[in-house]
Amino acid sequence: DQQVKQNSPSLSVQEGRISILNCDYTNSMFDYFLWYKKYPAEGPTFLISISSIKDKNEDGRFTVFLNKSAKHLSLHIVPSQPGDSAVYFCAASVWNAGNMLTFGGGTRLMVKP
Amino acid sequence: DGGITQSPKYLFRKEGQNVTLSCEQNLNHDAMYWYRQDPGQGLRLIYYSQIVNDFQKGDIAEGYSVSREKKESFPLTVTSAQKNPTAFYLCASSSGPYSNQETQYFGPGTRLLVL
């Protein structure tokens, strides 16, 4: 049973526009959420995180929104750049549970010039 | 530069052979993790270690073994019991072991292929 799901395997956007990547979770115990960016044959790079006590966290072009009632989070990238083309993973963890991360299946973002 | 190194970048395994993947970190992190990524899929946890000389099984530990004799090192052995070892293996670390909401940082990965 997948506890973290990214239902869109791919997303294509035009350079300069907004990219919105979505993630749903089923475990209501999750209280910390992260987004990672991954290029082929490389390790994931941490992008941004959000605690369950917040509903928004912003870092430069990246903003993560958390809707606890819907068990949904999203990553907004504005403006999108060709260098943002990569696979994006969302991950979640439970407080005091050893920091174990549960990952979604990933969404491939393609930003067209 | 602080970071996580994994070696080798590519590794070939023959049938029935055990192979060991190296993971070293100089971030002074207590916790280390091993994940496996299959094509088109997310990362799945194989083993993790919150502190030296202690480690726990993750979701897919069968056919793998680890050791944690030093804080900076967490090698993963893929044994002959692992019937489908071809995958991309990722090592991660976090400051841990019992901190809340810690971010994990990843190494560059090792791709294992079966001959």
Q: Profile chain B (115 residues) by mean pLDDT over runs of 10 residues.
A: 88 90 94 92 92 93 97 96 92 76 87 89
Tell me the nearest-neighbour CA distance from A77 into chain B, angstroms: 20
Nearest C-alpha in A relative to B87:
A41
Show the CA angle centred on residue B14, arms to residues B13 and B20, nearest 5°: 35
Collapsed DSSP state (helix, strand, coil) of residue A82: helix
- Per-residue pLDDT at B114: 86
pLDDT in tens, A2-44: 899 999 999 999 999 999 999 999 999 999 999 999 998 899 9
State the pLDDT at residue B101: 59
Q: Does A48 touch chain B (CB under 8 A)?
A: no
- Token output for A18: 């907004």
Which residue do the tokens 């946890």 mark? B45
